[in-house]
Amino acid sequence: MGAVDLSADLGFIRLKNPVIPASGTFGYGEEFQPFFDLDILGAFVLKGIYKKPRKGNPPPRLHETASGLLNSIGLAGPGADELKTIIKRVAAVTSTPIIVNVCGESDEEYQEVAEIFDEMEEVAMLELNISCPNVQEGGKCPAQDDKHTYRLVKRIKDNTCKPLMVKLTPNTSNIISIALSAEEAGADCLSLVNTFLGLAVDLKTRAPVFKNVFAGLSGPAIKPLALKLVWEVAKSVSIPVIGIGGIFTGKDVLEYILVGAAAVQTGTVNMVEPCASVRIIDEIEYLMKELQIKNLNEIKGTLRI
């Protein structure tokens, strides 16, 4: 079989391939420049950003589990002003679309941050991280409430022009209604999932490992859980869905496409293996040739039940 077409069509943008390093696991892109050429990627998402600099949580921040990683970083970051400078620097060395992961402690802050990056020509898309604890809602995140999700997504769409990807949390009993609310409010695409809340304890101290008690689980341990949610959401909405959760190989990527994802984000794998994107993109191409798949649309959402 000749050349295969790896491009991923999101409707409003066509990516050269479906591999997008995920927020928080790929720094600001430039940290990975010594390992490989960022131009090979479909796109990449920057670490989540608030308006002001944030120190994040006290250590420990990471804890390994069987096939997974628990993190409690607390969304540390340099603040929006500094990130603008970083983005200008990164955009000068790559033409790959840059996605900003927008955070906020309140709806007002989400809007302010979104507007700041909406104005930058170097930014291709905004990803709304609706899993941030909200101070006005007693620490609950917007992604756990369909009305709040609708209100926030509509507010961002009404005040920005860039394509908006809304990132969903699996820590809710009604992810489909949250997804539908985001779509109804004007989201251009959805990304799912963020980390699953988990608990690690220390037998010696009889205390939780993390100061915040719970932490976010990622990595291969969550792949079957995430794959199920991506399948359910992709069947329910008409906008593109970006699959996230435990992707370590090209085979994992094609499995997400099979259940309906238009593209994927790779997280923990980048922390384990900095050059993972190069390998994964190669594996997708190899596997597509082997399975005689000419383009991703041929298998997208074709899971037989």
* Active-site amino acid positions: 132
Query: Which of residues 4 and 109 has its CB atom nearest to ligand FMN in the complex?
Result: 109
Q: What is the pattern of x (binds ligand FMN, CB under 6 A) and - over residues 28-57?
A: -------------------xx---------
Kindly write down the DSSP assignment for every residue of the chain, as one continuous string: ----B--EE-SS-EESSSEEEPTTSSTTSGGGTTTS-GGGSS-EEPPPB-SS-B--PPSP-EEEETTEEEE-----B--HHHHHHHHHHHHTT--SPEEEEE--SSHHHHHHHHHHHHT-TT--EEEEETTS--GGGTT--GGG-HHHHHHHHHHHHHH--S-EEEEPPS-SS-HHHHHHHHHHTT-SEEEE--PEEEE-EETTTTEESSTTSEEEEESGGGHHHHHHHHHHHHHH-SS-EEEESS--SHHHHHHHHHTT-SEEEE-THHHH-TTHHHHHHHHHHHHHHHTT--BGGGTTT----
Query: Which of residues 24 and 198 has its CB atom nearest to ligand FMN in the complex?
Result: 24
Query: Which of residues 6 and 70 has its CB atom nearest to ligand FMN in the complex?
Result: 70
Query: Which of residues 198 and 246 has its CB atom nearest to ligand FMN in the complex?
Result: 246
Cβ atoms of residues 200 and 65 within 8 Å? yes
Q: Per rule CB under 6 A, is residue 160 in the interface with ligand FMN? A: no
Q: Of 4-12, 65-73, 153-161, 297-305, which part binds ligand FMN (CB under 6 A)?
A: 65-73
Give the C-alpha separation, 114 to 102, whole Å: 6
Burial of 230 (0-12, 13-18, 19+ CB in 10 A): buried
Q: What is the pattern of x (binds ligand FMN, CB under 6 A) and - over residues 95-134?
A: ------x---------------------------x-----
Query: Which of residues 65 and 297 has its CB atom nearest to ligand FMN in the complex?
Result: 65
Among 42, 163, 240, 245, binds ligand FMN (CB under 6 A): 245
- Tell me the site size for ligand FMN, rule CB under 6 A: 25
Q: Per rule CB under 6 A, is residue 144 in the interface with ligand FMN? A: no
**Binding to ligand FMN (CB under 6 A): which residues in 219-238?**
219, 222
Shortest gap between Cβ of 86 and ligand FMN (angstroms)? 14
Shortest gap between Cβ of 295 and ligand FMN (angstroms)? 24
Shortest gap between Cβ of 69 and ligand FMN (angstroms)? 6
Shortest gap between Cβ of 194 and ligand FMN (angstroms)? 5
Residues near ligand FMN (CB under 6 A) are: 22-25, 47-48, 69, 71, 73, 75, 101, 129, 167, 194-195, 218-219, 222, 244-247, 266-268
